[in-house]
Amino acid sequence: MNIQTQPQSQELEQNFIRIIPHEKMKNATRKEIGQGTFGSVYKIAFENQNYALKICKLQANDAYVIQKFNQVFSEAETMQKFMLIQNSRIMPLKGISFEVDISRKSVNIGYWIPL
């Protein structure tokens, strides 16, 4: 899941999508700022910076979750690559977090985007 870009110096530079510990999704500063069929969006403070955290809750069954993880990581990689190519400051992806509940009935996947 690494993305390579070619900066102006023509040297190859590697950029990685960061995996953020899932415990950080339950941060005490988390405030819901939106909700829809896609999931919930929260404003959250992490490492002295504010982020928008989009959490998608998935019902867990092994084949479905594996398919969704592949889809989520593929989308995140594409989003990160696009932002790097465009040298854009709009919605740069800071990282991804995920957790599986103890009964394995659901999975939460979080996208972290600086505000």
Q: Which residues are annotated as a binding site for ATP?
A: 54
b/e sequence 13-52, b meaning 16+ C-beta within 10 Å: eeeebeebeeebbeeeebeeeeeeeebbbbebebeeeebb
Output the known binding site.
Answer: 54
